[in-house]
Structure 1
Amino acid sequence: MTEPDLTLYGLRLSGHSHRAELFLSLLGLPYRFIAVAGRDQPEAAELRRLNPLGQIPVLIDGPEVIADSNAILVYLAARYAPESGWMPRDPLGAAQVQRWLSIAAGEVRYGPALARLMVVFGAQADRATVHAAAARILTFMDGHLADRAYLAADRATLADIACYSYVAHAPEGGVSLAPYPEVRAWLARVEALPGFVPMPASPIPEAA
């Protein structure tokens, strides 16, 4: 296989960007990172050309353009690590991972991720509703992880990569992880994976 020519458009403080960066690092793939921090930047205009929705991250792999963080995970697993088990090939295994990709885009996004977005980026939402959503998904995850090491299989998969970033940084949105020992143990297992790279902590102090 020829050396990949990968460029990732993203934002360091974005959990969506981080899940793509994390997986690139776990796979040991070299890439160029282009930060997109404001709408008036030239990089932002290029991002909108690549992804008319204007959302990060976007991955460029030679002539290929892949938008959406979960789509990037699936692409990288199939393109560069098809036999690794990150995305199982058997129907049940693939379905189990897909379930957690949907949870990452749904319950995690509108719970822990949105709580953090409100504090770090000033997003507007009802705090009580968002924190209740975070508690529901974290309680579910804690019970799910009580008798297993990882979310979708007996090893790390894309499910864990997709869910890790916003759950790990939930305290930045005022969502404590103290009530969820199984979730905290799972986070530690993900952080122990060879090639793991953390998402930078928010410059905003943790909310009470």
Structure 2
Amino acid sequence: MSLTLYNFPLSGHSHRARLFLSLIGADAEIVDVNLAQGEHKSPAFLAMNSLGQVPVLKDGATVIADSNAILVYLAKKAGRSDWLPEAPAEAARVQRWLSIAAGELAAGPASARLITLFGAKLDPEKTIAKAHAILKVMNDELTTSDYLAGPQPTIADVAAYSYVAHAPEGNVSLDDYGAVLAWIARIEALPGFTPMPSSPVGLRA
């Protein structure tokens, strides 16, 4: 694969893609996009992703926008059915968590971090409550499974990891979620794991 990833280092969405590239040992040129200067809204970038969002993956003439779509593409391109199972029920379990990553996790831990790190105009109390609601669901399910979609890590775990692990930056404590903390440790122990930079905000200030 000849890959280029358009990235923003503090974006959990970007980190999903960087993390998975590292986990599967795929080389990619990383191009950081200067959001402060509006590079993501330039005509050249909008031609790759009309929503003006990072990350974007280029594989030759193929352009993939959306972090979860990038995970699916990379797993399929690399033939990694260990990360994206082919069996219907297993694939569905993975898809469920990709949807949660784009829904409840985006509205909860990710949005809470947007408030403290980027000054997003959201209601902190409601956002933190949403974060704790999905973290409780995760914790309950992880008491009976090492990973979100089964006994082995999949792209579901990659999609969920970044914003959950960095939830304290959005004033969302993980102290009450022992199974989630154990899951975070398992992800971070995987060969090829690469971290997202920590930010001294929220509970990590």
Class of the TM-score when normalised by the shorter of the 2 chains: over 0.9
> Which residue does 1:48 correspond to in 2?
46
Identity of aligned residues (%): 55
Instruction: Provide the rounded CA distance (Å) in 1 between the counterparts of 2:35 and 2:104.
Output: 27
Instruction: Provide the rounded CA distance (Å) in 2 between the counterparts of 1:34 and 1:136.
Output: 35
Equivalent position amino acid for 1:148 in 2: S
Instruction: Provide the rounded CA distance (Å) in 1 between the counterparts of 2:97 and 2:11.
Output: 19
Instruction: Provide the rounded CA distance (Å) in 2 between the counterparts of 1:41 and 1:127.
Output: 26
> Which residue does 1:150 correspond to in 2?
147
Residue pair 1:9, 1:47 contacting (<8 A) in 2 also: no
For residue 175 of structure 2, the aligned residue among 173, 178, 185 is 178
Secondary structure of the structure 2 residue equivalent to 1:194: coil
For residue 201 of structure 1, the aligned residue among 174, 177, 198 is 198
> Which residue does 2:74 correspond to in 1?
76
1:42 positional shift: 5.3
Equivalent position amino acid for 1:47 in 2: F
Equivalent positions of 1:52-67 (< 5 A) are: 52-67=50-65
Equivalent position amino acid for 2:64 in 1: I
Q: Deviations over 1:131-152 (max 9, x none)?
A: 1100100011111001110000
> Which residue does 1:28 correspond to in 2?
25
CA gap 1:10/1:44 in 2 versus in 1, 3 angstroms: farther
Residue pair 1:25, 1:196 contacting (<8 A) in 2 also: yes
Count of residue pairs brought into register by the alignment: 204
For residue 14 of structure 1, the aligned residue among 6, 11, 14 is 11
Instruction: Provide the rounded CA distance (Å) in 2 between the counterparts of 1:60 and 1:112.
Output: 28
Residue pair 2:114, 2:170 contacting (<8 A) in 1 also: yes
Secondary structure of the structure 2 residue equivalent to 1:206: helix
Instruction: Provide the rounded CA distance (Å) in 2 between the counterparts of 1:107 and 1:42.
Output: 28
Q: Deviations over 1:37-77 (max 9, x none)?
A: 23645575232221111011000001100000000000000
1:206 positional shift: 3.2
Instruction: Provide the rounded CA distance (Å) in 2 between the counterparts of 1:136 and 1:74.
Output: 27
Q: Deviations over 1:58-114 (max 9, x none)?
A: 00001100000000000000001x244111101000000000000000000000100
> Which residue does 2:123 correspond to in 1?
126
Residue pair 1:17, 1:57 contacting (<8 A) in 2 also: yes
Is 2:59 the partner of 1:101?
no
Residue pair 1:190, 1:196 contacting (<8 A) in 2 also: yes
Secondary structure of the structure 1 residue equivalent to 2:143: helix
For residue 38 of structure 1, the aligned residue among 21, 31, 35 is 35
Is 2:88 the partner of 1:91?
yes
Structure 2: unaligned runs, 5 residues or longer: none
Residue pair 2:139, 2:180 contacting (<8 A) in 1 also: yes
How well do the aligned residues superpose, as a CA RMSD in angstroms? 1.5
List, as ranges, runs of 4+ consecutive aligned residues in structure 1 with deviation greater than 4 Å. 41-44
Structure 1: unaligned runs, 5 residues or longer: none
